[in-house]
Amino acid sequence: MKELMQKLRDASLEAISAAENIDGLEALRVKYLGKKGELTGILRQMGQLSAEERPAMGQLANALRSDIENAIEERKSALSEKLMELKLEAEAVDVTLPAKDVRIGHKHPMYNVLDQIKDIFIGMGFEIVDGPEVELADYNFTKLNIDEGHPSREWTDTFYFAEDSSILLRTQTSPMQIHAMETKPLPIRMIAPGRVYRKDEVDATHSPMFHQIEGMVIDKGITMADLKATLNKVVEKIYGEGTVTRFRPHHFPFTEPSCELDIRCHKCGGKGCPTCKGEGWIEVLGAGMVHPKVLSGCGIDPEEYSGWAFGMGLERLAMGEYKITDLRLIFENDVRFLEQF
């Protein structure tokens, strides 16, 4: 019996140390130590031994069981270590490999200009507001004192929705004046940049979608002097100190009086050049004192409050600033173009 155990010891330890994987080890455990395993088989023969021999044999069997168990555990941890090594090797990262070239996006030149303008107005205490591009004709026209029959309401100029002429794509950011007056507590100092839409054919200076920035101040005692002083300051920050401005009378239905603001051409100093198309002046924006009818339509008493407003095209400003000669370049988003700014 002792010999049988010695044989079992030799065979099992050899098999265990040769096992190549965890499953194989488990199979060996069953083979040697399981209920129907080889050690149990030997122990069954204990009955043939004398009472004196049994304890010593029992001890030997126990020692053999624990030796086999230990050998299995040892082999198991050696195998899993090897497995881990293989895994690490397979997943190894070559830190010396050159990185892939990541192309980072680029800020659009028009948004450079917009951010510059936002900064100027934020510095003057204005808030920036956002509003719908799909608008009611009521807000885009009627509440701005633009009557039925006004040419800008024509189907040929404005994108209306289906057959319903009460809903449209806003043609200007001016409806934001109405939204602000209807929802905000007074006084108001706001700017509202955004997209606007008109039925224009695409060419070097026209696009059916472009950007405007609206601005408005409503408070007690606001006059044309506030309009001029504020806009002169803004223009100076955009075009540089000493920029000469001119406020030219104009007509807008929602302001009274109304004006357009020109700057003396910063290229030629007013002599006339391609930048100002020979005029000596460059038109920058439309503005005026908010019409009393517009104020009262929004529930604001024109006897108590007054205000001024302006609207400015952004593309033209960016084109002037970066000497872009074709509007289409601004919307095509060709990286070769954008990367220049």
| Contacting positions for ligand DAH (CB under 6 A) | 172, 174, 214, 252, 255, 286-288, 309-311
**What is the CB neighbour count within 10 angstroms for residue 67?**
13
CB of 214 to ligand DAH, least distance (A): 6
User: Which residue number, 37 or 313, has a Cβ lying nearer to ligand DAH?
Assistant: 313
CB of residue 312 to ligand DAH, shortest distance in Å: 8
Residue 195 to residue 173: CA distance in whole angstroms: 8
Q: How many CB atoms lie within 10 A of CB 220?
A: 10
- Amino acid (1-letter code) at residue 279: E
Quote the least distance from Cβ 286 to ligand DAH, whole Å.
Answer: 3
Nearest to ligand DAH of 5, 312 (CB atom): 312
CB of 224 to ligand DAH, least distance (A): 12
Q: How far is the CB of 341 from ligand DAH (least distance, A)?
A: 26
Nearer to ligand DAH, 109 or 311 (CB): 311
Nearer to ligand DAH, 38 or 214 (CB): 214
HEC per residue, the chain: CHHHHHHHHHHHHHHHHHCCCHHHHHHHHHHHHCCCCHHHHHHHHHHHCCCCHHHHHHHHHHHHHHHHHHHHHHHHHHHHHHHHHHHHHHCCCCCCCCCCCCCCCCCCHHHHHHHHHHHHHHHCCCEECCCCCEEEHHHHCHHHCCCCCCHHHCCCCCCEECCEEEEEECCCCCHHHHHHHHHCCCCEEEEEEEEEECCCCCCCCCCCEEEEEEEEEEECCCCHHHHHHHHHHHHHHHHCCCCCEEEEEEEECCEEEEEEEEEECCCCCCCCCCCCCCCCEEEEEEEEEECHHHHHHCCCCCCCCEEEEEEEEHHHHHHHHHCCCCHHHHHHCCHHHHCCC
Closer to ligand DAH by CB, 71 or 217: give it: 217
CB of 177 to ligand DAH, least distance (A): 6
Smallest distance from ligand DAH to CB 270, Å: 24
> Closer CB to ligand DAH, residue 19 or residue 144?
144
Least distance in angstroms from the C-beta of 148 to ligand DAH: 18
Nearest residue to ligand DAH, by Cβ distance, number only = 311
Q: Which is nearer to ligand DAH, 194 or 311 (CB)?
A: 311
For residues 334 and 325, what is the distance between their CA atoms, to the nearest angstrom?
Answer: 15
Considering beta carbons, is residue 19 or 191 the nearer one to ligand DAH?
191
